Amino acid sequence: MNYFTISEKAEDSFIEKKSEFIGYIAPVSTNDEAVEFVNSVKARHRKAKHNVYAYILRQDNISRYSDDGEPQGTAGVPVLDVLQKRGLTDVCVVVTRYFGGILLGGGGLVRAYSHAASLACDAAHIMNMCLCHRLKIVSDYGMYGKISYILPNFETITVSSDFSDDVTLEILVLSEKLDALKNELIEITNASVEIVDCGELFEDFSSVKK
């Protein structure tokens, strides 16, 4: 159920035979957002020869691309291929080309647009979005040590902690590990722990060490 996307916009560029290729990537969740990003890059580079793009959306499983004047199959498809091979979704990549006067040929264009898209992806922070539950755990101080000791075994993420009369932790746990964690918490605390399930959602687990 997990998917990979990016957290924010990023860009990078390179020169190939005097042509400058600038790769832009942005998180998008709808077709309108993707079109808006493409148009914003085009507006920024009105004098560029080409503004090639590709995007993939989870919503309705949409994937689209444009060669924007380059020979068919040499620009938009290679950009889309990079996104697909990296397993990215809810992203849009635009590659701007300033023509340097030297023709690259079909193979050269494919390599150049693929490289520009890859550079943009490399510049972005990739998020591993996993289906998880947000839990609120309330216990007395005597049980806190036991609880904090087992949480890493379930690859949880601590969202917040409050140490007042009792210890209150808010954590994220992968949906497939939810029941096992609940059972373990009940067992080690002799059922003295309070567990409140705040609901299921997608969150970034890319920072969790396996």
With residue 82 as reference, give the H or E element that holds it: helix 76-85
In this structure, what is the dihedral angle of CA atoms 135, 136, 140, 144, given to the nearest 10 degrees?
Answer: 40
- Predicted confidence at residue 210, as pLDDT, reads 59
- Predicted confidence at residue 101, as pLDDT, reads 86
The closest alpha carbon to 78, from 112, 118, 110, belongs to 110
101: phi > 0 → left, psi -120 to 50 → alpha, else beta; which? Answer: left
pTM of the model: 0.86
Each residue's pLDDT, cut to its tens digit, for the chain (210 residues) gives 799 999 999 999 999 999 999 999 999 999 999 999 999 999 999 999 999 999 999 998 999 999 999 999 999 999 999 999 999 999 999 999 999 888 888 999 999 999 999 999 999 999 999 999 999 999 999 999 999 999 999 999 999 999 988 999 999 999 999 999 999 999 999 999 999 999 999 999 988 765
d(CA 210, CA 1): 18
